[in-house]
Amino acid sequence: AKYTRVEKDRCIVCGACVAIAPDVYEYDDEGYAGVIFGGDDNRGVTAIDEEFLDDLLDAEDGCPTLAVKLSDTPFS
Ligand code: F3S
Sorted by where each starts, the structural domains of the chain and their CATH numbers stand as 3-71 (3.30.70.20)
68 CA to centre of ligand 1 in angstroms:
7
User: Are the C-beta atoms of residues 14 and 6 closer than 8 Å to each other?
Assistant: no
**Beta carbons within 8 Å of 52's beta carbon, 6+ residues apart:** 21, 23, 24, 37
* Whether the CB of 14 sits within 6 Å of ligand 1: yes
Which atom of ligand 1 is found nearest the CA of 62?
Answer: 7
User: Are the C-beta atoms of residues 59 and 68 closer than 8 Å to each other?
Assistant: yes
Answering whether pTM is above 0.90, one says yes
Q: Residue 61: enclosing H or E segment and its boundaries?
A: helix 53-62
- ipTM passes above 0.90: yes
For the chain, give me the number of helices (H) and strands (E)?
A: 2, 4
Q: What is the pLDDT along the chain (76 residues), one digit of tens a residue?
A: 999 999 999 999 999 999 999 999 999 999 999 999 999 999 999 999 999 999 999 999 999 999 999 999 999 8
